[in-house]
A = this chain, B = another copy of it.
Amino acid sequence: MSVKGQRGPRLRADVQRNRAALLEAAQRHFLRFGVGTSLEAVAKEAGVGPGTLYRHFPTREALLAAVLQTRSEELMARRAEIAQLGDASRALRHWLRAMEEYFSAFSGLPEPLMAAARAQEPGNPLTLPCDLLITTTEEYVRAAQLAGHARASVTGYDLFLAAVSVAWIKGTGATDEESLDRLRALVESGYRERENPA
C-alpha cells in the first residue's frame, strides 16, 4: 500500500544517507586499521550513533560484506576478462592472483573469510561470496586439468586455500614482495603437471 509504482517499502532519505555514510567511513577505517577496527569509531566518523550502525549492519561481517560488494563486482569483472584468455594455464594463474589481491583488500580479511568458508549456517553474509570464489576456482582448475596443465589431484578448494594463505602471509607484513613471489611460485609449481601427458 501507498506505493507510487516502486515495489517494496519506501526508503526514507535519512536511511539511505546514513547507510552510505557508514559504508564510506567503514571502508576508510578498514583500509587504515584493518577489519578489526573499532565499530564505534566508524559510527562516529559517519556521524551516527552506534545503534544506527548496528541496525544497518547487525554484525561486523555484515558491514564487511557490504563494503566488499564493490570489490566483489570488480573481481567478477576480472573473471570475465580472464575467461577470454584462452590459455587455461595462464587463466588459472591470473585468477589466483586476482583472488589473492581481493583477499588483501584489508588487513585481517582472511580470518573472517575462512570463518565464512567453514560456516554451514547461512547466517554469515560472507559465505555467499566465499562460495562463489571457490566454485569459480574449481572451474578454472578443471579447465587447466583438461588442458593437461594441472595435476588431477589438485582441487579448486586447495588453490583457494593457497591464495588465502598467501594473502594472510602478506597481511602479517612479515615478508617482502620477493618472498611472496617465491611463495606463489612454490604453489604454482606444486599444482602444475610435471610432464606433458601422452
Contacts and interface: CB of A to CB of B under 8 A. Distances in A.
Interface of A: 111, 114-115, 117-118, 151, 153-155, 157-158, 161-162, 164-166, 168-169, 172-175, 179, 182-183, 185-191, 194
Among A157, A161, A182, A183, the most chain B Cβ lie within 10 Å of the Cβ of A161
A187 B114 CA distance: 20
Given A174-B114, A190-B190, A182 B168 contact: no
A169 B161 contact: yes
A153 B183 contact: no
Q: How many copies does the complex hold?
A: 2
Contacts of A189: 151, 189-190, 194
Contacts of A157: 179
Contacts of A155: 179, 182
A190 B194 contact: no
Nearest to A175: B161
Contacts of A161: 169, 175, 179, 183
Contacts of A114: 169, 172, 174
B185 A186 contact: no
